[in-house]
Every structure is written in C-alpha cells, then in structure tokens.
Structure 1
Amino acid sequence: MRATDFDAWLLDLDGVVYVGHELLPGVRQALAQLRDAGKHLRFLTNDPRPTREELAARLQQLGVETRAEEIVTCGWATAQLLPELGVQSAYVVGSTGLAEELQRAGITVTRDGVPDAVVVGADEQLRFLDVVQGCLLVQRGARFIATNADPSYPMPFGTVPATGAVVCAIRLATGQRPLVVGKPEPLMFQLALRTLPPGSKALVVGDRIESDILGAHRAGLPAVLVAEAVPNLPAARDLRRPDAVVRSLVELLEQPPELPVGSSTPDPWPERVVAGVVLLLVDEAKERLALVPAGGEWSLPWTILEPLETFEEAASRVLGQVLPGEVRRFDLATLVSQPEVMLVTDRDGALVRLAGPAFLAQTDAVTLAGDARWHPIGRLEELLSSTCARWVWSALASFA
C-alpha cells in the first residue's frame, strides 16, 4: 500500500511541519494537497505546555489551515485518559495550559490536600518547590502520571531539560514508576486514533526514531521517518526501524513509498537493557518452579550484576535471596540454552532486557524465602509470557 493511499496522517510537528518558528519548505502546499485529497490530518506533539487552541493558532499564523480538534498534545491526551483511570483531581507540575486541558476534561486541579494524581509536564516557570510538592504527594498515595518522558529538547542557545528530567527527579525521590502517556508510549497514538472515523487506515510521519517511529510501531502503525539518512539499526526486530525514510513531507507525497498497512502485534519493548542473570530454580523432581512477584505478575528470579561481580557470584546471590537460610543443598549449572532476548519484569512493573547467562538450580527446599513461591511447572503458560514459558520448557528438557 502506497503512503498516499492511507486516509489518515498522524504528523509530528517539530521537524516535520516546522522547525522552531519557521515552517519547513513546501509544507504548506503539501498539507493543502493532503486536505484536497480528503485525508484526515492529526498533528501530534510531546509538548505538554500549550493548549490545543494555542497550537492551532500558532499553525494558522504560519499559514497552515488547521482546527484545534486536529491537534493531539500529550497534555490533551493525558486529560482524556485520566477520567478513564478514575482520576477526579490532580496536582499539576507544569504549565497553565496543561492545567486548562485537565480542567476541560472534568479534572479538578488543586493545590490542597492529597489529590488522586500528580500530573507532570514542563514549564519555564516551574519552581523546585513544585517538584518537591509533587514528590510528597506521590509518597502520600497520589498516582504518578507523566505527560511524556522526553529528557531534553533543543533551543537556539543549547539543549535544556524537558518533562522527562522532572519526571526522573520525582521517580528517583519517591521510588515510584510513573504512567507515561506521550510518545513513544502507544497510549498517545491510541487516543489520537479515537478521534478519527472508524476504520481509518493511519500512517505516522515523524523525525525521531526514539519517539515517533518507536511509538507508532508499538501501537501497530506504519511509520515514515523524515531524515537525511537511514538510521543504522541492524536488528530486524528493532521497533525504531522506520518503514521508509524521506527527506521531507514534500518528498513523501511526490515519491510515495510502499508501506505495510499495519504491523502485527509488536514484540514487547523493554524500558532498559542491563547486565544480569536469571535463575531457573526447580525442586528435585522438576515438578515445581520458583517465581517471584513483579509488577502484579510473576517472574523468574533475576538480578542486575553488581560492580566487579561475576555472573556466577550474582547467581549465587539470587539463590541466597530465594532459598531459606537453613537450606544448603543445591546444584547450580549454567544453562547452555539461552533465549535470544530475555525479558523480565522489575518489581515496579518495568520491562527489562537482561543481557547475561541463565542458571539452573535444583534444591530440596520445601518452602522458599521472601516473596518467592513454588508453582507447578504445568502452569507455566498461565504465569509467564508465552515466549518465556517456551524457553523454560526447552531449558529444562536440555537438562533432563
């Protein structure tokens, strides 16, 4: 399917439509051509500061025909999501524009008491005490919501902190992981799709692989990158790989590439990659497997490698955390069979890719220490992801 055959276009703003305060060459005519062809346009941005009306006015000043209903900011997307989460009140660490979007969605913006949520955006007038208050409220039970997690953004005089820097400060101070709405999370794209006519075939056009392309593919949408060169991403499974690369929106219309209509369910995308080990601990009969709670689910025991620690020492440390102190008899062996990608879940629910070996251990322990619990191996498919369960079966079979 050619790019021009898609009936809905989700366009990033900065880098695709304009740069700074200047419209990119040919964009005005390209957008008019899309409208004349009956395409549905949506303009997506991770800037949480302005309202949709303010951004629409800015585009109109640049000579671009648009309506506020066609603008999808991460602030507006957050405001649409909060009522679905049962959030009725919020403390805003951000701009007046973000607060206005929340209020329009029926959210009470307050600075008194403990609200249902702390919503984090960005604002040039942000005070350190605003961040401190946000930390305290999260610690007192308010839900932690981030409009996006962009760490920085460019200015003519240099790179400056963005929303993600504020989010990181609150996360480090509270130990709480936020729900992130903006790109590259699929939530923002899903909310944008709701504004389109049912059955619309949507295409994403952006200039950043880490947000626009990754987010589109996580949402199952085809994505075109606006860039001077093809990014070097050799892994075929890398969700940051664009379906096509063009130098401008004008080129995309003049030389429309062939694109997939939509991707199949994408592979889960880890939040980070760490060096560590994973443990398969089974009883002597290989009928039960030890699992630990993680983010509301169950996971194989694992750990990050400590400085100067060997993989074997890390595996022994995990065993020490899982086995009761009185248990001394166990056999530990490095697994020959390892998955190409080992994904585990952190205690706060973050998906992590583990780079390192897996170890198999057997023990005669009747009970386990801490939060670890024995589970029947026959229930693996109910407790672990299908990929992980298949690998566990394969690993155990190799040590039969």
Structure 2
Amino acid sequence: MTQLAQPSSRTRVPNPLDGFTVDRSQLRTIGHDLQRPECILAEPDGTLWSADARGGVMRIAVDGTQRFIGQRADSRFESATATSSADMESKFTTGTLPNGLAFAANGDILISNFGTDRLEVMTRDGDSRVLYDRIDGMPIGKVNFVLRDSKDRIWLTISTRVNPWTQASLHPVADGYVAIVDQHGLRVVADGFYFTNEIRFDAAEEWLYIVETTGPHITRMRVDERADGARLTDREVFGPSHLGGSPDGIAFDSHGNLWCTLIMVDQLIALTPEGDKRLLLDDGDPEASRALLERTAAGTATMDDMMRAAGPIAPWMASITFGGPDLRTVYLGSLRGTTIPYFRSPVAGLPMVHWR
C-alpha cells in the first residue's frame, strides 16, 4: 500500500466516514425499466443522465419522470460520407453499448461506446457523431470511460485490445491504456494497465487515479504539464494492491476519500487519503463472491462464475456518482440493474468540472 505522509494528531481533521456504513433501510431508488445503467451523470438541478444499453441515454428528472434519448446520426456531419439514410442510422444502432459518460463544455454528452469501440458525442436531442475510432493508425480498442478536465481536455480509457474482450477480463493482460484529446489531437499518455476502467482527478488535478479492474487495484499518476502537452509520471499503486474484488467505478468526496465499487462481489468501499480501505456496503452473495475470487486467483474463473456473483441492490455494482443540491446524495450504477439506488452520505462529493 502506498505510504503517504501522516498529519500530526493535533492537526488531523476527523474523517467524515469514521464509523459510517450505508444503512440499507435508508436506501431509495429512482428510475425504472432501465437497461444497463452503468454510468450516471448528475446535474445541479437534480437531473440524472444514465447510460442505456438500447443505444443512448435515459434522462431522469427530479420528479422521477424519464425520457429515453436514442443516438441517431447527425446529418450535418454524416451526409457527406454515408451512402444512404439507412447507413447513417446503422452507425448508431448496430452493436452500440454506451458505457462511460461525461459532459462536453457546451453541454453535449461524450460517450465512450463499449460496443462500437469509439468515442462519440451526442447532443441532448440525440444527434450523434464519431469523434475517434482509431489511434496511431490502429483500431482504438475497447473504449471504456471518458472524463473532461478543467482545461477542457478529454481523457479516455481503453480497457484492452484483446478480442473478444471477455478473455482479458477472465485472464488478466496489461494492454490497457489512457489517452488524451487536447490541442495536439488524440494520443496515448500511459499504458500497461490491467483492464483500464474509470479515472478521476483529485481536487487540484495534480494526480489522475486509474482503476485497473483485473489488477485488482487503483493506480495513480502525477499530471506533468508541459509546453507540448500533459504527460503522466510517477506511477504508483494507491491503497491495497488487492482490493478484495474487481474495482470498477470511483469518485472522490470533498474530504479526499476515494469511493469505489467492486463489481460482482458488489461491495462499496472507500480509500482514505492515507490509502486505508473502508467497507461501506457489502451487498454480494458471500458464497458466490468467495468462489469467484478463488477461481480468479487460480486463473480458472468462467463467465458462469461471474454471472452467479451479484447482489440485489445494484447487481454488478459498477459506478458511483455524487449529486443532489449539496452533493451528498450517492447514486449507484450497475450493469444488471433496472433502477438506480441512492442514499445520503455524511460528506459531500467533490464537484465535477461541469458542476463548477
């Protein structure tokens, strides 16, 4: 585990998570009939946007009313290259699987599409276009997550180039990478990760925290700002080298705790600023989780083992989002759920760039 400087006992601020666990009786849900609500974006007015496996996003208003917005080709960009209207529509209806979401500076929605292996952008009415599907002349790989920073740069994670990608999830391979879109275009800034998943910046955007799902741990790298573009340096594991499950989604709170979902064993944990692990919610099936962890360690895990491991609250718990007017409402995304569970946190989340 990373050893970090410890504050003196006289100046140490109590951690708001001291003694906190999620009270199941206080859990509520929002949304219904959702399909694979893997990633959730929250806006200050209470609106939620959830990735949807039907090929788009679900907009959920504060009162719970919802509207599915499906991706369709934006004729302003596609008509010059498409041979027919059917060709245009098929670009966003064939094999699509929206995964990570982020707001562009103008309010459009950036989509890392796990099905089409592309970074896409969609207006709030559904008009969509492809931003990137290749890098250095090669297919980009299994696009997983997208994040925008305060300098309006786009950061992108690619889990693997193994095809089918399921083999990389069953048998760890360090071929994942992180890329950036800046004034120089799209380029790789760090590679050699075990199934790169969600990424988040600390409050000062000095460190980028990187989920290695099959690591299974969190890596962090320092953001080195240079005249020719940002670089990532000083790579180190943050927290335990094995988290006790496969990390998937992460988010910081305002105290500096890094909240993290462990998919399939379906636990919600937090890593304190010192790197200590706190268990906040355990919703996994104990026997199925034990079998999955043992077989994963032995290299014999199968998709059946994965399918058997899930909890009832947010099956295959995949992401965490802070929202509400005070950023103290915690929403849980999942791969197999049909609704979004939420609860109140003792500490506010760290505002994302679109919140500021």
When the two structures are superposed, what TM-score results if normalisation uses the length of structure 1? Answer: 0.24
Higher strand residue share: 2
When the two structures are superposed, what TM-score results if normalisation uses the length of structure 2? Answer: 0.26
Which of 1 and 2 has higher RCO (CA within 8 Å, sep 6+)? Answer: 2
Larger Rg: 1
